[in-house]
């Protein structure tokens, strides 16, 4: 099924979009369909890249941000993001075992698992987490800065999940079945 939003060919992109798509190509070695669709509005693609870039300079390791992306994709039933973050997660050092259970907010590392459970709580409650949810993530060793970054990672991934759901972006990563979430 073709995408419901236009995807921009980097070779024919307007200058602002071309510059951003070239940046993506340099960083990833490919230009994923999601970013080609976002490039229809350079402001959208720039906003996505800027927010992701800012979070990459934070306290949370890239592997944990990828695991949060898997939780978000599973909770929001985004097959595009679930497939993409399996590839990106492996590149960031997420183990095959943790990739397999990531959509269920599980991880082999107890501290990472606490962050994933908190991220899932943020998603499921639309941010209205309980005091117990907040205490659990703090008890695992996360400070307020890291908690803010978990929330930021959730927000960034909600954006991409919803974008791809609306666009019905053609998945250009190896397909991975979405887990059934409870």
pLDDT of 123-132, one tens digit each?
999 999 999 9
**Inter-CA distances, 153 with 13, 66, 175, Å:** 29, 9, 23
User: Average of pLDDT values for 39-52?
Assistant: 98
Q: Mean of the per-residue pLDDT values for the chain? A: 96
What's residue 155's pLDDT?
98
**Inter-CA distances, 10 with 7, 126, 164, Å:** 9, 36, 19
What dihedral angle (degrees, nearest 10) is formed by the CA atoms of 21, 24, 26, 32? Answer: -90
DSSP single-letter state for residue 85? H
Give tens-digit pLDDT for 55-89: 999 999 999 999 999 999 999 999 999 999 999 99
């Amino acid at each position: 099924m073709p995408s419901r939003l236009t995807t921009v060919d980097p070779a024919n992109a307007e200058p602002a979009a071309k510059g951003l798509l070239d940046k993506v190509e340099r960083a990833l070695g490919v230009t994923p369909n999601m970013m080609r669709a976002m490039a229809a509005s350079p402001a959208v693609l720039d906003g996505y890249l800027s927010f992701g870039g800012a979070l990459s300079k934070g306290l949370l390791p890239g592997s944990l941000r990828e695991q949060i992306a898997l939780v978000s994709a599973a909770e929001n039933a985004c097959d595009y993001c679930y497939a993409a973050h399996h590839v990106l997660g492996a590149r960031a050092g997420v183990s095959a075992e943790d990739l397999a259970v990531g959509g269920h907010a599980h991880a082999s590392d107890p501290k990472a698992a606490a962050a994933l459970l908190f991220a899932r709580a943020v998603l499921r409650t639309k941010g209205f987490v309980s005091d117990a949810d907040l205490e659990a993530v703090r008890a695992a060793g996360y400070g307020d800065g890291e908690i803010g970054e978990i929330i930021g990672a959730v927000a960034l991934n909600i954006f991409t999940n919803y974008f791809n759901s609306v666009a019905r972006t053609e998945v250009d990563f190896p397909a991975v079945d979405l887990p059934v979430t409870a």
